[in-house]
Each structure stands twice: as C-alpha cells, then as structure tokens.
Amino acid sequence: MNSVIKSASYVLAHVPQMVIHNGTTQTTERVVNPDGDYLKELPKHLRSFKDCVEYWPNQVYIGNKTPEELEAVEFPYYDKNIDGASRYGKYGEIMPEDEFLLLAQTCDVFEVYYLTRDFVAATRPKLEADPIITDDIKGRIQEGIELSEIEKLVKEEAAEGLYLDGKLVGCVKRAHDIDVNLSAEVMHENIMNKATGVLSLLYLVRNAGINAADVDYVIDCSEEACGDMNQRGGGNFAKADAEIAGLVNATGSDARGFCAGPTHAMIEAAALVKSGAFRNVAVVGGGCTAKLGMNGKNHVEKDMPALEDCLGAFAILVSENDGVSPEINLDILGRHTVGTGSAPQNVIGSLVADPLERAGLTVNDVDKYSPEMQNPDITKPAGAGDVPQANYKMIAALSVKKGWIEKKDMPEWIKKHGLTGFAPTQGHVPSGVPFIGFARDGILEGKYKRVMIIGKGSLFLGRMTNLFDGVSYIIQTNTSAEESQNSVSRDEVKKLIAASLKEFANSLLGTEEA
C-alpha cells in the first residue's frame, strides 16, 4: 500500500535583528558599501512582531487563513494586516525574536552559544509559557553569563553577536580556531537552522497526535551544510534536530538538492515507508539566516517594510497507510533528468505533463498544483514577478499545446488549478511543501482528489554543474479500501497455493500411474 501524509507543521521565527546582522545582502553591503544609504535606512523598515503576526501571508503559512482567502485580498498585502491575528496557528506558530534566541540556546550542545543573565531571566517565563515547549527543553535552559563576558567574546574572539532591539544580548562562538566550517558565522547559521527545525518537529508530533518516540526516521532537507574541514557537508541535521525534539527512537540523515530538496526528501520518505523499512518518517527543513533581507534593497527603495524578516521551517510526517490519510502515489513521479535540458517548456514537461501522460491522465485530473510558492509581495518589487503565476502560465501553455485545454480557457484554468503564493523566500521552504498541509486537509474534506507537489532546484549555484533539477509527485485520496476489495487476502492466497500444489501433485501421480 502507498504511504500516507499523517500530518504537517509550519513555523516562523520573527528575527528582524538577524536581518541586519546575518542576512548576506546586508553582510555583503557592510563590506562593499558600509557608509551607503541602505544600511542606514534599513532599521526604519523593520516590522514589529505585531505587524509580522498580522501579515496575511504569514497567517496563511501557519494555517489560520487559506490561500483562497489570500487570493481575495487586494494586492499588495503588506498594508492590509489582520487586526488581532494570533501568533498560534493550525499548523504551527510565529515565534518572537527573544523567545527564539532562548530556544536556540537549548539547541547548543557544544557550549558555543551564550546569552546574558538578564536576558535569560526576562525571557525564560515567556518561552516556558509556550504550550509546545516540552519539559526537556525547559530543562536545557542555561542561566547565562555577564554582558561584559559576551562583549569580550565578540570584540576579541570574533564571536557572532546576538541582538534584541538593537542591544547585544548574547553571542555564538567559533567552534574551532582555524576551521572556516566551524566559524562563528557558520555555527550561528546552523544553530538557527536547527532551532527552527526543532520547533517544527515539536508541532509535527502534536499535529499528528502521536508520541515523539513513534517517529523512527528523520530526513533533513534544508540548504545548510553541517560538518568540519574534513567533511564540510557531512551532516547530520536530522539527528541533531531529533535529539532536542525528543524523538528518542529516531535515526536519520540529510538530503540536499537546493530548492528541490524537500520534494526529493518526500519521495524518499514515501519509499522508505512503503518498503516497510520504517513506519513513521519525518521530513524537516529548517530556516536559513543567509536569505533574511535578501531583497531588502528593493523593499527599502520602494518604502516598503523589509518583508524577509522571518526564518521559515516545516515538517511533514509520512506514515504507514492508515486507510484514511491522503496517499503519496509513487507510480506518478515527475523527474527532470540529466538529458531533459533547462528550457522552461522541457522542465514543465518533465515534471507535469510526462508523469500524467504515463498514468493516462491530463492536467485537468489534478485539482491543485503547488510549485514554487513564493510570496509575490516579496518578489514583485524585486523584479522577479509573481513566481507561482509564472509556473501556472507555463503549465497552461503546455496544456494548450497538448490539446488538453483551449487557449481561451487558460486564465480560468489557472484560477481553478493554481494558488496564490504565500511562503517566505527561504530557498527550499517555498518549493512545493507549503501547500501540503492544506492539500491533506482538502483531500480529507473531499475538496480535492489529487494535488501535485512540484520541487525545482538551481543546481548551477554550486558551480559543479550547469544542470537544473526538479521532481514532482501526486498526493491523492486514500485508495486502500479499493485495493482491499480488488486484492486477495493472505488466507485466500494460502488456499490458492495449497490447491495448486494439490493439483500439481495429483497430476504427477496420474503420470506415474500411466
């Protein structure tokens, strides 16, 4: 039987100070143009936590609103907040920067992460009041050290500072004197990735209604690399996340594929469960500090808020077929192969048209498509356009060429089968997976029958190949009841085998007698 999607979680950590100090657009600007207007103006464009929580796309991401509701909101979205919106959602939460800095401290196991005593004392009650935070995590909170000690580490030992409201409240030390893979900058990036991954796993277990001990494998599919000078990307974020989240029976490994990584990981998880190797596999992707404020220059130039102020993360639980949950159909997989080429029509053909044709289906047999779900509020001011809509236009154009729809019907087809983008531009995070929670709910409600998740990746960014990449799969209504009706039970198989053996034996006896 096909494996199923048991639950999904989505979380955001609002980290405006990390936009200034850790996003690569800003760190690069401090090197090439330290006295420029951008760095001076940026702090004026940072959002408050309240504005971040009340932002429409963020409320969609954590499940309090739907993509359909967002579609009805007049564009742009950033000036139309939802008054009184909650930080807690159906799928997860939006965590403020102070609580997140303390959560990250609990993820440090090599004593490289320090916070001031005053900060810990002020923030601890807030973090402990969050209903998702476990007693084990509360027990990992350290009291902190004096501010003077942190100032010394930042000034004299190149530690990466941690800030709140413009004030130094902690730091991340380097984990090795000369290994650049264990520098303070890399350790900071990796711990923040780990902390968001842990938060998403905590919500995943809650949403699934299972014990943390029931998860037996974890696949991390974020974009960071964990290792040292001898194995710079060796990993393993998966087990690091699982350790803090209390998944005591889990093993795991990391999967990397740039933005397509989550879709590759989901296919791997589905195959592991269907094969019987593992019962419950969690796919997790943590946030990326490097991409904070990535398009900040364009936002500031247009007098907008700096919208890329959140670390985004997600987790999906793939489990044995329970007869109810939506299935991952491994018989309908799209794949961008080495020979596919990078032309847009070839890419869409390999990921959408080809797998559907092999299954005897057309684009009309899939209710919704979830490709790159970037929030257009972020990308359009930066000149990148509406990324989801661009994908839907290519799918529709290919469908016209295939004779599946009429050219005049393209706008209506896009409206029916497409989605409004709502995900943060965190690289791998927007790539298909943000809609999995909604897809699962919609299928269970009978709203959808099939949903296609599409992941695409720019492999050329690593300077190892010029190739593009992509994979896709179908989430569908559970078919185990149909399979049971059309299949033969184990007892029946035994009876058939026994009857065949008896018939074979009788034929041999008959031959001997003759």
User: What interhelical angle do 410-417 and 387-402 show, nearest 10?
Assistant: 120
Q: Which of 285, 319, 353 is the last residue of a domain?
A: 319
Q: Which of 270, 298, 319 is the last residue of a domain?
A: 319
CA dihedral 400, 403, 409, 415 (to 10 degrees): -70
- Give CA–CA dist 61/63, Å, rounded: 6
pLDDT one-digit tens code per residue, 159-168: 999 999 999 9
118 SS3 class: helix
110 and 222 in a common domain: yes
454 and 337 in a common domain: yes
Contact by Cβ (8 Å): 25, 293: yes
- Give CA–CA dist 142/107, Å, rounded: 11
pLDDT band, residue 496 (cuts 50/70/90)? low
What is the CATH classification number for the domain harbouring 458?
3.40.47.10
> Is the backbone peptide bond immediately before 388 cis, with ω within 30 degrees of 0?
no
Contact by Cβ (8 Å): 340, 346: yes
When the pLDDT of each residue in the chain is averaged and rounded to a whole number, the result is 95
Residue 481 has which token pair? 């009841």
- Give CA–CA dist 54/66, Å, rounded: 14
- Give CA–CA dist 120/476, Å, rounded: 46
pLDDT band, residue 484 (cuts 50/70/90)? low
- Give CA–CA dist 224/451, Å, rounded: 29
Residue 424 has which token pair? 């943060």
Closest alpha carbon to 181 in 120, 256, 231? 231
Residue 412 has pLDDT above 90, yes or no: yes
pLDDT one-digit tens code per residue, 20-64: 999 999 999 999 999 999 999 999 999 999 999 999 999 999 999
383 and 303 in a common domain: no
- Give CA–CA dist 119/247, Å, rounded: 29
**Mean pLDDT value across residues 85-97:** 98
Residue 210 has pLDDT above 90, yes or no: yes
235 and 171 in a common domain: yes
- Give CA–CA dist 238/194, Å, rounded: 9
91 and 195 in a common domain: yes
Q: Which of 275, 299, 319 is the last residue of a domain?
A: 319
**Helices vs. strands in the chain: H and E counts, helices first:** 22, 13
Which amino acid is present at 114? Y
Contact by Cβ (8 Å): 269, 3: yes
**Mean pLDDT value across residues 316-340:** 97
* pLDDT value of position 109: 97
Task: List the domain range (segments joined by +) for residue 360.
Answer: 327-483
Question: What pairs with residue 452 in β-bridges?
Answer: 369, 474
- Counted domains in the chain: 3
**Mean pLDDT value across residues 120-124:** 98
465 and 356 in a common domain: yes
Question: What pairs with residue 425 in β-bridges?
Answer: none
In this structure, which long-range contacts are made by residues 348-353, counting pairs with CB atoms below 8 Å and at least 24 apart in sequence?
348/391, 348/394, 348/395, 348/398, 349/398, 350/470, 351/454, 351/456, 351/470, 351/471, 351/472, 352/395, 352/398, 352/452, 352/454, 352/472, 353/398, 353/399, 353/402
Closest alpha carbon to 61 in 406, 334, 318, 433? 433
* pLDDT value of position 486: 58
Closest alpha carbon to 135 in 246, 218, 278, 211? 246
Could you tell me what percent of the chain has a pLDDT over 70?
Answer: 95
338 and 307 in a common domain: no
The DSSP H or E segment spanning 331 is: strand 327-335
205 and 351 in a common domain: no
pLDDT band, residue 485 (cuts 50/70/90)? low
Residues 6+ apart with CB under 8 A from 155: none
pLDDT band, residue 503 (cuts 50/70/90)? confident
Residue 66 has pLDDT above 50, yes or no: yes
Phi, psi of 235 (to 5 degrees): 95, 180
351 and 225 in a common domain: no
176 and 103 in a common domain: yes
DSSP code per residue over 245-272: HT-TT-EEEE---GGGHHHHHHHHHHHH
pLDDT band, residue 514 (cuts 50/70/90)? very low
193 and 95 in a common domain: yes
270 and 157 in a common domain: yes
pLDDT one-digit tens code per residue, 454-469: 999 999 899 999 998 9
- Give CA–CA dist 456/469, Å, rounded: 6
